[in-house]
Structure 1
Amino acid sequence: MTFATMGRRGFIKITAVAGGTLLLGGLTGCGQNGSGGGSKGYSGDVAITGLASLIHSAPFFIAQSEGYYEEEGLTLEHIQFPGGLDTVRGIDSGIGFGTASTIPVFIAAEKGMDVKIIGNVYTAASVDFITLPDSPISSIEDVRGKKVAVSTPGSNSSYFADRTLRAAGIIPGEDVELISVGSASDSWTAVSKNVVDVAWTASPLSEKIASDNGAKVVWRSRDYVTDWSDTCLVATGAFIDENTEALKGWGRALQKGMDLITNDLEKAAEVYGKAIDFKPEVALEALKNSQNFFSLDFTDAQLAAVVAAGKEQGQITKEPDMDAVVMRNFFS
């Protein structure tokens, strides 16, 4: 996997506004104003992997839409990045903080980037596997002799397909064929055209496809992976030094968003659905399936699991210095 530098103008700025509309435009600059956070205020960009397409984004939309950012003196623009490595590069190249898949942060730290994990976000393996409503495949055991779509070699979908199938006693390349097809939407197209038998996807798209097309979930990676940190909060050391209180306020705002998901699921789903332009019932089903997996806290087992996965894929080549990368008590 390469670590090429990518300019910030190539990314997308997404701002949640009243009524749930998503405004898309070219990214022009950080627009940061102030450095203390809290009562001093902070204005700037925040980088988020898969903002509009992955369930871990729900607390961010809720925090913005419900005024939790404003309560902490924060004016934040959500910047969507297509993948974890891209997000980390964006954080390191000037944005300063954001949310990325956890494995890429350890990869970046090994490469010498000044990035630190300050909190967890989503603690479940996020990849799901779905099929057509009339398919004879109803469980993971039924995929023997079939074709399963993944994104690309080395991707999360490829890793979790391999790991979950092996956990079920099914050997990729022998008992089942993994086919690289690209994005989750491309994966569903491949199933619909009978190119493959099972598609990879991730919530909330899993629930949307089920609602729109009657797709059925065959298995979820979380059924086989119990300790995991899928996405985490990240900042550069320099940004942490200059904006500690702003980051702590950001954590408090996100915790309020997570608390709303826990305590008032219907209200949370209404806000989230408007933000991503999904039907309320689809957003509700997506959040219901993920309700127990939002947390700012991590465990040693979760961190060890993602490092082990990175090593297995050859993305991490040595044991990281956890104390140097992970700030365990930042939000305490």
Structure 2
Amino acid sequence: MNTILGPIGRRGFLKLSAAAGGVIALGSTAACGQGGGGGGGGYSGDVAVTGLASLIHSAPFFIAQSEGFYEEEGLDLEHIQFPGGLDTVRGIESGIGFGTSSTLPVFIAAEKGMDVRTFGNVYTAASVDFIALQDSPINTIEDARGKKVAVSSPGSNSTYFAERTLREAGLQPGSDVELVSVGSASDSWTAVSQGVVDIAWTASPLSEKIAAESGGKVIWRSRDYVTDWSDTCLVATGQFMDENADALRGWGRALQKAMDMISNDVEAAAEVYARAIQYEPEIALEALSNSQNFFSLEFTDAQLQTVVEAGKEQAQLTRDPDMDAIVVRDFLS
């Protein structure tokens, strides 16, 4: 079971600036000046992003920065990459103040008494995919019967979606299908390539990259079985929202412009995204096209409730959260 650990600092986290075209640098985070609350007054600082370099939900952040949408809103932001949603929420609460995280960790953190709010959706599809070798006899989820499926670790999103989608297909995890914890998505694909397991978990854009470069094929996507989901969301502490409301609203406007670009000109959006993550343009285009309809700042009750039920099922949440205290629905309107 995942848990929220104690406060953590920002030293040593991976810094990845989209303005630098995806250049990665290790080291401490320099203090950034903050002024005026954003918008016309300007705001300069760090923003925490879960899986910035590796997950499809990051595309609007790269695009907003590279296309000057941040600058138009008076924002000078540096993206700080965190490896997972729980780490991101801790980083936000421990000093960065705002960012984007997997949605479930926000509710987990709130239950533990942390001062966190979510004020906008980002990516509205279940992001975990399952892939196999191109010449594998496995072609559908039903073909997973009697096979081994790689997941990250117990309590992870990959484990939850493996178990849920298999059950939706009439298969019982643990008896019909063996789940094997192997670690990261790349470790999962290595396990398939070496014959340790039959099916790997992954996520876009790595799904498309593996299919194009390593002879993999997507067998099923979690979003085909989980139709209401908030995968990632915009997060801030209550104090940060009170003190920097204009900056956060400007951030939302910049991200909306990036999402509109993905919707209306996916080819141009994919060019920007490809440069940022250093992928071949055609792979970035395929990945972004596959996710084109899943970027939104709007929440629905069904999406949030599905996330809460997932947390309760995994014993990560012990009670229903106070939605009115955690979800600030009209903040960006």
Q: How would you bin the TM-score normalised by the shorter chain?
A: over 0.9
Matched, 1:222 2:223: yes
Offset at 1:35? Answer: 3.8
The equivalent residue for 1:143 is 144
The unaligned stretches of length 5 or more in structure 2 are none
The equivalent residue for 1:280 is 281
The equivalent residue for 2:110 is 109
Offset at 1:226? Answer: 0.3
1:30-61 Cα offsets, whole Å, 9 max, x none, are 41321411110000000000000000000000
Q: In structure 2, give the amino acid aligned to 1:74.
A: L
Say whether the 8 Å CA contact 1:32–1:45 is kept in structure 2: no
Q: Take 2:3 and 2:74, find their aligned partners in 1: how far apart are those partners?
A: 38
The equivalent residue for 1:72 is 73
Matched, 1:322 2:323: yes
Equivalent residue of 1:17, what SS? helix
Matched, 1:201 2:202: yes
The equivalent residue for 2:13 is 11
Say whether the 8 Å CA contact 2:266–2:289 is kept in structure 1: yes
Equivalent residue of 2:46, what SS? strand
Say whether the 8 Å CA contact 1:122–1:232 is kept in structure 2: yes
Between the two proteins, the alignment pairs up a number of residues equal to 331
Q: How does 1:42-57 map to 2 (within 5 A)?
A: 42-57=43-58
Q: Take 2:33 and 2:84, find their aligned partners in 1: how far apart are those partners?
A: 24
Q: In structure 1, give the amino acid aligned to 2:269.
A: A
Equivalent residue of 1:10, what SS? coil
Offset at 1:10? Answer: 3.2
The equivalent residue for 1:310 is 311
Offset at 1:265? Answer: 0.5
The unaligned stretches of length 5 or more in structure 1 are none
Q: Take 2:174 and 2:299, find their aligned partners in 1: how far apart are those partners?
A: 34
Deviation >6 Å, runs of 4+: none
Say whether the 8 Å CA contact 1:33–1:43 is kept in structure 2: yes
Say whether the 8 Å CA contact 1:16–1:23 is kept in structure 2: no
The equivalent residue for 1:269 is 270
The equivalent residue for 1:241 is 242
Say whether the 8 Å CA contact 1:92–1:115 is kept in structure 2: yes
Offset at 1:4? Answer: 1.9
Offset at 1:305? Answer: 0.4
Say whether the 8 Å CA contact 2:3–2:316 is kept in structure 1: no
Say whether the 8 Å CA contact 2:4–2:108 is kept in structure 1: no
Say whether the 8 Å CA contact 2:16–2:22 is kept in structure 1: no
Matched, 1:83 2:84: yes
Tell me the TM-score normalized by structure 2: 0.98
Residue identity (%) = 75
1:91-114 Cα offsets, whole Å, 9 max, x none, are 000000000000000000000011
Equivalent residue of 1:112, what SS? coil
Q: Take 1:225 and 1:35, find their aligned partners in 2: how far apart are those partners?
A: 42
Q: In structure 2, give the amino acid aligned to 1:101.
A: S
Q: In structure 2, give the amino acid aligned to 1:256.
A: K
After superposition, the CA RMSD in angstroms is 0.9
